[in-house]
Structure 1
């Protein structure tokens, strides 16, 4: 049975989410702020974290960054704001998904199920090779000249999709649907943020491929070997 970490300083939200997740068959570890959440993670492993943005002592974005440094689990951000800046900051911090309050419990459960499926490696998967770059979908790592790099899930999935179809142009809409799912309600600029992060990361590491922009359309990966 999967264990879900729920972090919110509003006890009513914690109770509401805990009740619905328990009914859906999950175990729940509850926390009221970021510091308490990190303590819960040390007590027992969790498969996923649902984190509120605005909390005392340690906010949701800071907590997300801390989780990213120590644990390989997906994070869903809960926010009362609907501005793109708030969502973008969440993705920059490393979150995998977000929900704007108020939300339907079934939608949260759908998103949890989708992320857990993506994080589970279903057997060994062949690596994707581009020159000296090897991409391993089974453990979400990238190997370049005997050095291994771990990427945030959304960055990895985006790189994997582009690398599996070199030269094929994907629109932002297609990338949103493939990587973030049909229930994603955010702005397509999220794709731009993740592409920029991939470019920044790999420009320093390899010259074996580049991610190019087709203005007004989308992006594609071009091997340089």
Structure 2
């Protein structure tokens, strides 16, 4: 039987409502070349308004709330005729929500709490089918337990000085300089990068979209 080939152009374009290079790289490694459109959502304001309306949110709910806000903001501004994916990640430590540190001092304090311990990285995923009226809008949160190495004060200071912890949720990466400080994960490791490929596949399926409908240019032979 001759090999089959996925068309160079996917039948359903995917718009990524995120500026994250790690999320973009994750999708590209899976054969998806999204259109990137960064949302204009004020995250602090969105969480404050939801908290005033519904009360204190669980960490996983914060991630999903922001993912939905980003996806819906971008879907209202683009006309790609595809699906829009919004994502947001937060780290849960001692029941508290932690996003990107505000500054180096906060990153240092957080790492001195995290070291030698475990936290849960929650990534909210929200999908908006923007192909026409009545399209699906749905989402879910993936959660992965992350175990951190017991860093010395000198290692914490040196890592924070690189600037990497200031640009990522939870103040760490698993696919960058911070990878040396993650001793184990329980769950989907893609989720720690910021986008769970298995969850995205499930959401697409729930919207009636096959995985290879969003993949292009990959030889299956």
After TM superposition, the score normalised by the length of structure 1 is 0.29
After TM superposition, the score normalised by the length of structure 2 is 0.30
